[in-house]
C-alpha cells in the first residue's frame, strides 16, 4: 500500500515536471530543453549503444550512469529511480549492477518494461571473485552481444508494435557490425607469439575465451579490488615466464597499480578498454563500442605480437 501511494505521488510529480506525455506515452526533456521522444533508459554505456542502434529514431535512449563514470560501484539516486519509473523501457545487464534488485523492487509494477539484455546468455564463473561469482562483462564478447541485440529488439517491439519492422531491421544491421568485429578478432588473433595478456581489471574472460586467449588480472572483477602482495609477485612471475611486454590498464580507473607493476617488470602499459563508459576524449573523437573494440584488437595484436 505504501509503495502504491509512493508511485501515485511520483506520477503526479512526473506530470508536473513534464516527464509524462498524454495517452500513456513516456517522455523526458532533453538537456537542451526540448522534448526528445519516448525515452528508454539503459543502465550504462554499452547497453545505451546497443539500445540506441536498435531504437533508431523511435526512442530517445539515455544512460543511467553518467559519461566517464565507472559503473561497478555507482549507485542511483531517488531522482534516477523517478526517471526510470517514467520511462518506456529499462535496458540492463542483470549481473553488473549491485543496486538492481532493490531498484526493480521499488519501481511501479507495470512500468517500465524490464529488458534484461543478459538473459539466456551463458556466463563465466570464478576468477578473483570466487568460484560462484558471475563475471558480468558479457558485452566484450561480440557473439554474445548479438543475442542481447535480439532481446532488445523483441522487447522494443512489445513497447512499440508499430515500430517492430524498424527495430528488427536495425537489429539486423547491428548484428552485421558485430559479426564483422568477431571476424576481425578471429583473424587478427589467430597467429600470435603469445596467448597470455596481463590486465589491471579482470574484465576480459569472455573475450579471452572466445578467441583462445588467457587473461591474467592484477585486480578482480571489480576494478577497485586491491591486489595482495602475493598477487603482484604472481603477475611478475607470469610476465617473466611468458615474455609479456605489456601491462594493460583501462581509461576510467586509476592506472597506478598497472603502472607500478609495469615499472617493476620493465615493460610498457597500454589501454585495453572494458568499454564500460566513454571518456570525454572518446566522446569528442566520436568513439563507439565498435571503434573501441577495434582499438582493443589493435592493442592486443601489439601486445601479443600477432602476425
Q: What pTM value is reported for the model?
A: 0.87
Asked if residue 183 belongs to a domain, the reply is no
Among 164, 181, 198, give the residue marking a domain's end: 164
Q: Is residue 176 part of a domain?
A: no
Looking at the chain, list the stretches that DSSP marks H as alpha helix, in order from N- to C-terminal side: 2-17, 45-55, 78-85, 100-106, 142-159, 164-188, 205-210, 229-242, 256-265, 280-285, 289-304
Q: What would the pLDDT profile of 194-252 be if each residue is shown by its tens digit?
A: 999 999 989 999 999 999 999 999 987 776 667 888 999 999 999 999 999 999 999 98
Residue 271's domain comprises 189-304
Is 230 in the same domain as 107?
Answer: no
159-162: long-range pairs with CB below 8 Å, 24+: 159/38, 159/88, 159/89, 159/113, 160/38, 160/58, 160/59, 160/88
Examine residue 138 and state whether it is found in any structural domain, yes or no.
yes
**Is the pLDDT assigned to residue 124 strictly greater than 70?**
yes
Q: How confident is the model at residue 36 (pLDDT cuts 50, 70, 90)?
A: low
Same domain, 160 and 208: no
Structure confidence at residue 24 (pLDDT): 30
Q: Which of 58-62, 120-124, 223-227, 263-267 has the lowest mean pLDDT?
A: 223-227
Mean of pLDDT over the chain: 87
Residues 136 and 30 in one domain: yes
pLDDT of residue 106: 86
Q: Which grid cell sits at 146?
A: 548479438
In tens, the pLDDT along 158-193 reads: 999 999 999 999 999 999 999 999 999 999 999 999
Query: 23 and 143 share a domain?
Result: yes
Q: Which residues pair with 42 in a beta bridge?
A: 63, 91
Q: Find out whether the peptide bond into 112 is cis, omega within 30 degrees of 0.
A: yes
For residues 7 and 147, membership in a common domain is answered with yes
Instruction: Check whether residue 37 and residue 127 sit in a common domain.
Output: yes
Question: In terms of domains, do 264 and 156 share one?
Answer: no
Burial zone of 36 (CB within 10 Å; 0-12 exposed, 13-18 middle, 19+ buried):
middle
Q: Does residue 184 lie within any of the structural domains?
A: no
Name the grid cell of 293.
573494440
Check residue 127 and give its pLDDT: 74
Distance of CA 302 to the CA centre of its chain: 24
**Residue 160 shares a structural domain with residue 15:** yes
How many other C-beta atoms are found inside a 10 Å radius of the C-beta of residue 29?
Answer: 13
Instruction: State CA 73 to chain mean position distance.
Output: 13
Q: What is the pLDDT of residues 67-99, one digit of tens each?
A: 888 888 788 999 999 999 999 999 999 998 788
Q: What is the mean pLDDT of residues 98-121?
A: 91
Question: Looking at residue 15, what is its pLDDT?
Answer: 39
Give the pLDDT band (50/70/90) at residue 128: low
pLDDT tens digit sequence for 275-300: 999 999 999 999 999 999 999 999 99
Q: Quote the number of domains for the chain.
A: 2
User: In CATH, what number is assigned to the domain containing residue 269?
Assistant: 3.40.50.1980
pLDDT given for residue 109 in this prediction: 84
**pLDDT value, residue 62:** 96
Amino acid at each position: 500500500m505504501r509503495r502504491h501511494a509512493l508511485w501515485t505521488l511520483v506520477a503526479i510529480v512526473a506530470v508536473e515536471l513534464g516527464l509524462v506525455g498524454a495517452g500513456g506515452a513516456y517522455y523526458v526533456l532533453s538537456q537542451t530543453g526540448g522534448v526528445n521522444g519516448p525515452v528508454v533508459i539503459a543502465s550504462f554505456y554499452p547497453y545505451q549503444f546497443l539500445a540506441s542502434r536498435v531504437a533508431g529514431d523511435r526512442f530517445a535512449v539515455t544512460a543511467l550512469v553518467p559519461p566517464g563514470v565507472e559503473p561497478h560501484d555507482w549507485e542511483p539516486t531517488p531522482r534516477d529511480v523517478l526517471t526510470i519509473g517514467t520511462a518506456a523501457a529499462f535496458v540492463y545487464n542483470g549481473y553488473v549492477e549491485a543496486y538492481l534488485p532493490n531498484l526493480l523492487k521499488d519501481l511501479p509494477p507495470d512500468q517500465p518494461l524490464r529488458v534484461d539484455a543478459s538473459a539466456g546468455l551463458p556466463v563465466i564463473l570464478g576468477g578473483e571473485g570466487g568460484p560462484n561469482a558471475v563475471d558480468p562483462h558479457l558485452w566484450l564478447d561480440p557473439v554474445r552481444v548479438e543475442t542481447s541485440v535480439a532481446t532488445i529488439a523483441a522487447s522494443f517491439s512489445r513497447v512499440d508494435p508499430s515500430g517492430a519492422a524498424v527495430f528488427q531491421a536495425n537489429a539486423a544491421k547491428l548484428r552485421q557490425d558485430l559479426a564483422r568485429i568477431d571476424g576481425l578478432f578471429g583473424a587478427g588473433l589467430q597467429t600470435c607469439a603469445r596467448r597470455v595478456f596481463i590486465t589491471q581489471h579482470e574484465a576480459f574472460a569472455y573475450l579471452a575465451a572466445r578467441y583462445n586467449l588467457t587473461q591474467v588480472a592484477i585486480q578482480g572483477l571489480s576494478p577497485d579490488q586491491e591486489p595482495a602482495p602475493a598477487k603482484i609477485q604472481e603477475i611478475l612471475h607470469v610476465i617473466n615466464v611468458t615474455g609479456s611486454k605489456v601491462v594493460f590498464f583501462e581509461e576510467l580507473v586509476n592506472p597506478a597499480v598497472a603502472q607500478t607493476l609495469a615499472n617493476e617488470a620493465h615493460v610498457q602499459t597500454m589501454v585495453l578498454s572494458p568499454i564500460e563508459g566513454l571518456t570525454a576524449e572518446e566522446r569528442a573523437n566520436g568513439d563507439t563500442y565498435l571503434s573501441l573494440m577495434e582499438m582493443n584488437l589493435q592493442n592486443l595484436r601489439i601486445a601479443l605480437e600477432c602476425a
